[in-house]
Structure 1
């Protein structure tokens, strides 16, 4: 069990409750709720008969006793929570298991007719919360002293314990250096060569009793160190030049100084030399571009005469990007039509902003041209295709406000062609509806009158019109043929023709039963005719952009390949017959040589492999 015992010897004569105490009086220091041990010496001189010694508190209550016999054997007794041990030499130890605040005081040990031995038990307490005082508020470059004061709460209070102190300055304990000096117990702290930044220092201290296991106080309240100074400079909370945005409201520019006890401020517009504010804030209600200029802040110390500082700031008013012009080919043109394969089509975007902007020209989500810190940007189209028709966008922005956007539309004249790949072979079961659809790429748009449908009927093509069995719908760039109830006669090949003012295009489709095996490729892909105009290609702005997978007709190719294969077979067969006849007439000797026996280096006769092959093929009879 933890206990604290500190012995301080004195040469004075102490009387406790009428009992004279022989010196020295032993001082015992113990923390609360710990074990405290008192030690005494029994007077065993002339021990001829039993002698009883009592341990008494200063109020006279007996806490323990020990009885020595003539042979110096002994017996002990004690109250609960108290134990007593001894030896034959008369050294007696009394242990209090868990001392409390009320356990503090004088304890006597003695026997009737003998002088008393005394112990004083001190119960250690936590020193009071310290308080910091400052000798005087210093000026810059002065010195001043701070004092930390605390009181011991150890009981009884007549002890001789002292306190030592710990200082903390801005989270640093007992800072060193030439500017800091302390008294021996660190009760005082002297700060020399004061600077204005010392004003912001936060200082605390705490006390600790100088004894084993002595308690430390809680830390004092934070003491804000004060210094008289300034102002040295008038500080503005924004950098010069200060950028503002046109249209901003409630803009505040603050001026402050390092002065104490206080500062006053004045703002002056150096353009008009008018005083516009008498406090530390330059307040601008609504910013406009004419507020660009220079402003001066004057800071003065309210407690020191003729002490002031001035600072000037420049302001710049910025405003967001506005696309002022976006045109194709010529200024002011936002709807422009060109021919496919035209060259040097220039697209130009111009903006107004402060500062300069980032400008990008985009088409169908793709950035064509982008550049930063500029006021104008151009992009040139060379060899225009119909897929480059559509809406072009100019976007300009800087760090102020939202981006500005303007559109221009390019139309490209081109003859019809397929917009994308599609399935030419369509399957359908009987007695169900089916739709044949085709989308073209063309400008001008064919419209409803630019599409026509035909069905192959033997050797001729029959035009189709909407009736009770089928429905044809065409608009813009797409046409649909819907068979409302598929019959056996509906199976076969269909042709859709697209026409605009620049040319035409034909596309073939094949409808077949769903339960019949795949037709040959020749029947499935009858192909398309060649347009009667060169397919220069174009699109209109509302088309799907960026798809250039057109379909071509395979009929001519298949017929050509078939005729080529047939011609090749005929030529090869003719060559074969010619070679065979020439060999029969001119190379008969060669074949006979092959049939003769050859002589091996060993002298043995043998037939060559060629002879064996010829003999098996019947050439023996031919040469015999």
Structure 2
């Protein structure tokens, strides 16, 4: 404004006008002008990448006379952050990312700066794993593990399984198109960006599956002797754990179980216990039957007996046959003796005397013998 003569001036400030005064007659010697703030500029220090935890300073400056007062704001927040030309973050956090601007104000006006974007970089944190579907996992179904992490820049993901040295795969998802019981275990994912890694807590995957083919064992594993203690054990991999039932084959389609959920124990096994045994393993997802296991109980000769043929009177000059039999396992060997004679008369199950004479009369006995013992049976022969 030019040409106003007065020791004071009252005006309504408009635009970017500036004002100065001079003594009348000395118009060439004007006072320094006064004016409202020019458009404020904002600078950031340091000007390089901003990493979480570092110290960061925003500076606002504006040409104004008298000097401007400064106020800092963050976009989408109503209240001012601070007064003064500088906004200082002594340890900047990821939550401080956003758009900032300042205002410069004096008695002649107020101006607002353009916004400046603050993008705080930080390593991965809050890394976690989720499972889909979240219900129980059944063998053969499709299962997806998803890894997520808060990171700037975005993280890359690597999957690991407990006790497996090499990584399983890369990427935010680990997909099992048909999950198997062998996939059960603890899984973790590692999130990594240029500022570092972060590993999730382990997540446990338990795959439910029907029993596998049961295996059977016998204790003791050697030869089984009558009267000894024998235990049959059944085992099958299954989840949930299988229930076990023992059966003995006997040709009956409606077999009665011998033992359930425990080993099959013979405290004193008998020859009648010899035979074929099998077990079943069952849980909510299925039932499997083991292969048969053969139990062969060994025992010494018993029920040894001698018969004679012909069974009636034995006449001189005729032929007579003595037959010895015994229940034994393994099968017995037979030896024939005549009372009061040291040497055996014959070996084998059958002893035949041809052309019988009176001196053949007397007591005969056979001895049945195997690796488990021996037993005798006597016959009185009268010619």
TM-score normalised per structure 2: 0.45
Computing the radius of gyration from Cα coordinates, the structure with the larger value is: 1
Relative to its length, the structure with more strand (as a share) is 2
Relative to its length, the structure with more helix (as a share) is 1
